[in-house]
Every structure is written in C-alpha cells, then in structure tokens.
C-alpha cells in the first residue's frame, strides 16, 4: 500500500554520501514502501540538502522493530551526553546551526 505517511523536520548537521560529506538541511521520515529492503513497508529516513538536488541523499530503510531500536539508541545516547556534558550539548547544537 502507498501510505503517504511522511514527517519532515529542518535539521542542521552533515551527512556522508557517495560524493563525500555535505551539509544537511532536512530529514524526511516516512512509513511506506521501501525501495530496497525486503519488507512490504519500512520506516524510511532520508537526510537531504534541497539545494543539492535529489541525488544527494542519505537514506535508510528499517523494519519497524529496527526503527524503534534506533529511536531508543538515539535518545539514550543524547541523554547520556546531556548528563556527561550538560549544557555544552545545547551549545554544540546551536553552533551547528
């Protein structure tokens, strides 16, 4: 099925694609058909830079279970960073923008 489910967010940071590192400005998170993963539906994450065109994309297609593990890993890592570094995490985020 084509769910059409997509959530987008503006982000700051860098990603590494086939042509090396590039600046990211948006992430699109969808739950829909994968292009490659061998499941009918997957959690798809596309990190992009609009100015660079469709080809500059960091893409992953995860099973729902894997996507939840990723969310947990990200939140755990962020929490540990905040505990260890404190407000510096916020400062680092601001410096990236």
Partner 1 sequence: MHQYRTDMYEGMLAETVMMEGHRGDAINAYFARPLGPGPFPAVLLIHHMPGWDEWYREITRKFAHHGYLATSPNIYYRFGHGSPDDVAAKVRGSGGVPDDSVVGDVEGAVGLLRSLPYSNGKVGVFGTCSGGRHAFLAACRLKGLDAAVDCWGGNVVVPKEKLTPSQPVPPIEYTRDLSCPLLGLFGDEDQNPTLQQVAVLEQELKKHGKAHEFHTYPKAGHGFFYYHSPSYRQEQAVDGWKKLFAFFNKYLSS
Residues forming contacts to partner 1 in the complex (CB under 8 A) are 1-4, 6, 8, 26, 28, 30, 32-33, 35-36, 38-40, 44, 46, 48, 53-55, 57, 59
Q: Which is nearer to partner 1, 38 or 97 (CB)?
A: 38
60, two tokens? 């992953």
Return all residues near 77 (Cβ < 8 A) that are at least 6 apart. Answer: none
CB of 40 to partner 1, least distance (A): 6
CB of 10 to partner 1, least distance (A): 12
**Cβ contacts of 10-13, under 8 Å, gap ≥ 24:** 11/47, 12/93, 12/96, 12/97, 13/96
Q: Which is nearer to partner 1, 50 or 87 (CB)?
A: 50
């Amino acid at each position: 099925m084509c769910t059409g489910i997509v959530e987008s967010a503006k982000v700051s940071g860098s990603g590494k694609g086939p042509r090396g590192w590039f600046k990211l400005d948006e992430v699109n998170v969808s739950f829909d058909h994968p292009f490659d993963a061998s499941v009918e539906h997957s959690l798809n994450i596309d990190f992009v830079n609009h100015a660079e065109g469709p080809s500059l994309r960091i893409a992953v297609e995860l099973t729902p279970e894997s996507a939840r593990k990723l969310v947990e890993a990200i939140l755990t890592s962020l929490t540990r960073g905040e505990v260890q570094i404190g407000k510096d995490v916020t400062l680092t985020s601001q410096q990236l923008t």
